[in-house]
Amino acid sequence: MKDSLRPGIKFEHRFTVPASKTVPALYPESAEFVAMPGVFATGFLVGLLEWACIKAINPYLDWPQEQTVGTHIDVSHEAATPPGLEVSVTVELLAVEGKKLVFAVAAHDGHDLISQGRHERFIINREKFDARLSAKAPGG
């Protein structure tokens, strides 16, 4: 990681919600999910928050050798968002504790604050991470 990776980094990411990111699409194998309303799924919202954090800090890493993985998420999902609306995600790097990064995250759909909370990521060396994962995999 570069010396410039410090608390205070802010980033905004925008994403228009397609039908493929709604609750019925989250687990199409689940009859329960398929029967639910076609609104932005919490699982995809979490991924969008992570994506914004990744985009915020990638310029401060030795990408792609250094990457980050999510290790903790504590966020609300406060309002439903239909497909077609643009979601604006804002993130701020609050702390750099060794390789642990702590972010404040929030998302708004142009009508409502839909999410807010905290997210943690950990900086990894991709080659070492893949080696450990390979050893853990069945037959590895």
70 φ, ψ to 5°?
A: -75, 135
Query: Which residues fall within 8 angstroms of residue 62, CB to CB, at 6 or more apart?
Result: 1, 2
Please indicate whether residue 68 is annotated as part of the active site.
no
User: Is-contact 12 90, C-beta < 8 A?
Assistant: yes
**Helix/strand/coil for 96:** strand
Q: What is the largest CA-CA distance in the chain?
A: 50
Please indicate whether residue 50 is annotated as part of the active site.
yes
Please tell me which residue in 50, 66, 68, 119 is annotated as part of the active site.
Answer: 50
Please tell me which residue in 13, 77, 108, 119 is annotated as part of the active site.
Answer: 77
**Helix/strand/coil for 38:** coil
Counting Cβ atoms within 10 Å, is residue 84 exposed (0-12), middle (13-18) or buried (19+)?
A: exposed
Please indicate whether residue 16 is annotated as part of the active site.
no
Q: Give the residue numbers marked as catalytic.
A: 42, 50, 77
